[in-house]
Every structure is written in C-alpha cells, then in structure tokens.
C-alpha cells in the first residue's frame, strides 16, 4: 500500500460544480482499482492525497499530470504506508480544514507530516504545502 500526494494550480475556469463532478467520476473509477483518497481545494489550488497499490497509483498519477483542469503539478509525497487514512473514500472533495478534520476524525493522523501539510494548505496555500518538504 502506498500514499501519493501532489499539489497543483486549479484551472481558473473550474467552478465548484465541475470539481464535484470530477470527484464523483474519480470515485467511480478508483474503487475497482482499490484507490482511495481526498481532493482538497482551497479556491485556487488542489492538494490530492491518493492511497492504494503502487501499480495502480503510478499510471493514475501520469494521467493526472496531463489533465488540463490544472497545471504546475508537483509530487510532494510517494511513500509506503501500513494502513489507509481514507479507507471508505473512492475520492472525497474537501474544501476547508474543519471539514477535513470532521470527515477524517476516525481515520487520518492528527499529527505529523500529512496533517501539517493539509493544515498548511488551507491556512496558507502553496507556501505551506511545500514547507513540509523541507
């Protein structure tokens, strides 16, 4: 099992309805591949957290990088994990930190790199997401 996290700049033509549709289709495609995760959106950027078998994540990430709905895709994390933080989500859209905290109360870590990255993304945007890499 692996986790892949990336940051990107959302296409400014996207509206919330289009993003919700994108997430719904992603969830349907991800389930048979045993991929779960969250797409975080702060109004300008995406931070996507994907979890699943490495052999499924790698080709998916290559597709994601070429998607015209965003640009400036930067992989932040690609690491083995012992258990999923989002076991029941084929994909879930999260638009603010309280929503993320409430939705992941039972599953996601409350400290460490991933939590700090998510918290920073909603608080401070791009700079904070990248700060976790240092």
Q: Angle at the Cα of 134 (from 119 to 105), degrees rounded to 5?
A: 25
Structural domains in the chain, sorted by start: 2-131 (3.30.70.100)
**Mean pLDDT, residues 60-88:** 91
- Residue 128 pLDDT: 45
Look-up of token digits 């919700």? 20
* pTM assigned to the model: 0.78
Instruction: Report the alpha-carbon distance of residue 12 to residue 14 in Å, rounded.
Output: 5
Q: How confident is the model over 5-56, as pLDDT tens digits?
A: 999 998 888 888 899 999 999 999 999 999 999 898 888 889 899 999 999 9
Instruction: Report the alpha-carbon distance of residue 75 to residue 132 in Å, rounded.
Output: 12
């Amino acid at each position: 099992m692996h986790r892949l996290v990336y940051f990107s700049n959302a296409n400014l033509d996207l509206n919330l309805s289009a993003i919700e549709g994108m997430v719904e289709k992603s969830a349907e495609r991800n389930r048979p591949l045993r991929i779960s995760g969250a797409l975080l959106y702060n109004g300008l950027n995406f931070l996507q957290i994907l979890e699943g078998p490495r052999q499924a994540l790698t080709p998916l990430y290559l597709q994601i990088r070429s998607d015209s709905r965003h640009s400036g895709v930067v992989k932040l994390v690609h690491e083995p994990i012992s258990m999923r933080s989002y076991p029941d989500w084929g994909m879930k859209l999260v638009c603010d930190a309280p929503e993320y905290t409430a939705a992941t109360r039972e599953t996601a870590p409350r400290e460490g790199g991933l939590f700090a990255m998510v918290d920073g993304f909603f608080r401070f945007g791009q700079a904070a997401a990248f700060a976790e890499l240092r």
